[in-house]
Each structure stands twice: as structure tokens, then as C-alpha cells.
Amino acid sequence: MIITDVEAVILKQPSIELIGDGSQDTVVILVHTDEGITGIGEVDSNPYVVKAIIESPASHMACIGLRDIIVGEDAFDVEKIWLKMYEKSIYYGRRSVAIHAMSGIDMAIWDAIGKKTGLPVSKLLGGTFRTKIKAYCSILMPDNEADIQALVDRHMVKGYQGLKFGWGAFGQDYKKDVQLVRWARKALGDDKILLTDIGMLWKDVKMAVSTAREFEKEDVFWIEEPFGPDDLESYKYLRDRVNVHISGGEEVGTLYEFDELLSRGCVDVVQPDLSRCGGLTVARKLTDMARMHKVTIVPHAFKTNILMAATLQYIAALPDAWYLEFCEQDTPLRQTLTNPVFAVDNEGFVEISQKPGLGIDLDWDVFEYYRVK
Ligand SMILES: [Mg+2]
């Protein structure tokens, strides 16, 4: 199944707000093959930079655009393709957005292999440990009690057993963060799981420890990305001093970076984003690495249903899995880009597709409507 072309198509809602919501736009990756099969992927990064990295003509042998690197390759050689992309983009690549772009291509290649073989990607990754997974509701943190209560009332009737408030009002002021968590716990009641995401904004480790201890009193299950992704010393400092789980890793790409995050004991929960970390090819190796470090994998996913579909397949193949992150943003791309649209059942679970590949099709009318021409 020879790769004949790679497209990077930017989709975007009419206006973009500068908030922590990656579902306002996306870049869909289409990997075409000579079998007439097209694999679908997406990338959660700057879509315009991703598109340039894929479509760029070659400069010299270590500076080739990703499309030119992989056209002509057999899609089944997915490991070989990954390494070839890494090595032939190495002057401008190695980390960050080149790895993001590779992730979307890798996702699409796994989808194409699944479609060709008639198998769900979870089977290709080593086997299906589960056919459904408990979801947590993932939404942005409002700045007042009434809005927190309204969001809890709106979403928790759907069956969720847990909810994460992230970004938004968090991280501006340590005392306010404690207040926000108290309001959230009051709104949720005592029996639901409360997760928090500081959006990388805490800077002072001592204040972080005292704030996290207040979070502990409200039975917060995890504190996600309290610090920036390069501030590993602060992660370790905080993790060693509190009983709340510390999570992070959505900014991390390549096994080199995951190795450093886990070897230095920075997190209890690692959160690879399959559209940024290097794709399923990297994430499936992280599965073993995380088990060796006694760290649980809960992938990050705050994009369209393409990423959710890939995330579900990955979760199906994890020996240990706690949750699916279920982005509840109302953006059109989040809600309408694929068929089927995933839903939470009344016990808080999402079913994992057993169809070939990622188990989704694009809604091509939606795709064309939001396509940046
Ligand atoms: Mg996060």
C-alpha cells in the first residue's frame, strides 16, 4: 500500500478566541495510497506551521518537507517511515512542531493500515484490553461560582463520574485558585472526581505546595500541568511534597522527552497527546516505559473527534487505563466534523469502535464548509 500523497488541510471556525481551546481550528492530515485508501489524522498545534512543514520543498538532505520524505513508501513500514521523517527533518525538526506534524501523519498511516487490514487500530497496537472507557468531562474554568455551578449542572447530568476544570481562570492568583476549587467541589458534591489543570501558570514552588495542600483538602484527584513543561525541577519538588496526583506531558514529544519526564520522577500521570507526541508509534512505546515507572497514562485530547478516535484506540490497547478526556467545548469542529460523534452513556462510559482503522469518517460537508481556502 504505497503512499501517493499527503494533504494538510486547515479547518477553522470564523473567529478564534485567545483562550485555552484547541478545538476552534485544526489541521486534518490525509495520507493517500495507491489502494484508494486514505488515512485520516489531525494535529493540535499551529495549523499553518504544520502545513508548511508537510508541504515544504526540500532544502537539503536533512531539511526535507515531510510529504516528500514519505511519498513512495509502503504505509505498512510505519516504524521505518517515522524514523525517516525524523532523520530527514532533523535540522528543523527533532522536537516541537515537526514532531507534531509527524504525529498527524503517523495517526493517518495507522488509520490506513487498519482500513486495509479490516482491523481496529487497537488490534494493530497489540490487542484490545477493553471496549469502553470511563470518560471525564473536560471544560475550561470559569471565574465565578455561578458559572461553575451552571457548568456542573449542565454536564454532570450526562452520566460523568468526574470533571476537570482547566485553564481559564486558574493560575492567575494562588488564593483565587483555592477559592475556585472550593466552589467546584461544592458544586460537584462529595462523591464525584474533581480534576484540575493549571495550564502551566504556577511559577513559585513554595506557593504551589501550599496551594496544592489546600486542593488536597477538597479531595482533588490530580493537578495537571502546574508548571511549564521545561520546569521539571518544580514538578519533582511539588510531587515529593503533596498527596494529590501530579499530571503532565501533553507538551511532550518523542521518547527522549518522555524518558526525562518519567526518569526524573516528575509525574504520577503522564498525558501524551497523540497529535503532538510523535503519534501512536511513539505512544505505544510509552506504554511500556510508563509501566516500568509505575506511572499511569491518561492521554490528552482537546480537539476534534479525529483525535478522540485515535485516543480511544490507544486506550483500548493500554493494559491499565483510568479515563478518556472528553472535551465538552461547543465549537463546531469539535461537535460535527466526524461520523460517528462519540457520546457518553448514562454511567459515564464511551464505547470504543471495533471498526477498521480509527473507526471514523469525516463529514465532508463540514470539512468543506470550514476549510481555509
Ligand atoms: Mg492540560
In the chain, % of residues over pLDDT 70: 100
Instruction: Quote the Cα angle for 249-162-46, to 5°.
Output: 35
- pLDDT at position 20 is 87
User: Which residues lie closer than 8 Å to 182 by C-beta, 6 or more apart?
Assistant: 218
**What average pLDDT does this structure show over 126-135?**
97
Model confidence over 95-117: pLDDT tens digits? 999 999 999 999 999 999 999 99
- pLDDT at position 309 is 98
Interaxial angle between packed helices 280-292 and 78-88, expressed in degrees from 0 to 180 and rounded to the nearest 10: 100
Model confidence over 322-373: pLDDT tens digits? 999 999 998 999 999 999 889 999 999 999 999 999 999 999 999 999 999 8
Q: pLDDT grade, residue 257 (50/70/90)?
A: very high
CA of 203 to the centre of ligand 1 (A): 16
In 3D space, the residue among 139, 136, 214, 225 whose CA is nearest the CA of residue 181 turns out to be 214
Cβ atoms of 190 and 130 within 8 Å: the answer is: no
CA of 87 to the centre of ligand 1 (A): 29
Q: pLDDT grade, residue 91 (50/70/90)?
A: very high
First-to-last C-alpha distance (Å) of the chain: 30
Model confidence over 268-311: pLDDT tens digits? 999 999 999 999 999 999 999 999 999 999 999 999 999 999 99
CA of 155 to the centre of ligand 1 (A): 19
CA of 176 to the centre of ligand 1 (A): 19
Taking the C-alpha atoms of residue 97 and residue 50, their distance in angstroms, rounded to an integer, is 7
CA of 227 to the centre of ligand 1 (A): 11
Cβ atoms of 171 and 146 within 8 Å: the answer is: no
CA of 201 to the centre of ligand 1 (A): 11
CA of 300 to the centre of ligand 1 (A): 7
CA of 164 to the centre of ligand 1 (A): 10
Taking the C-alpha atoms of residue 76 and residue 2, their distance in angstroms, rounded to an integer, is 9
CA of 347 to the centre of ligand 1 (A): 24
- pLDDT at position 168 is 96
CA of 165 to the centre of ligand 1 (A): 10
CA of 353 to the centre of ligand 1 (A): 25
**What average pLDDT does this structure show over 52-74?**
96
CA of 366 to the centre of ligand 1 (A): 27
CA of 89 to the centre of ligand 1 (A): 28
CA of 368 to the centre of ligand 1 (A): 29
Residue 315 has pLDDT above 90, yes or no: yes
CA of 250 to the centre of ligand 1 (A): 7
Quote the pTM value: 0.97
Taking the C-alpha atoms of residue 18 and residue 186, their distance in angstroms, rounded to an integer, is 29
- pLDDT at position 272 is 98
CA of 11 to the centre of ligand 1 (A): 22
Residue 32 has pLDDT above 90, yes or no: yes
Q: pLDDT grade, residue 26 (50/70/90)?
A: very high
CA of 198 to the centre of ligand 1 (A): 8
Model confidence over 156-179: pLDDT tens digits? 999 999 999 999 999 999 999 999
- pLDDT at position 97 is 98
Q: pLDDT grade, residue 192 (50/70/90)?
A: very high
DSSP letters, 165-185, are EESTTTTS-HHHHHHHHHHHH
Mean pLDDT of the chain: 97
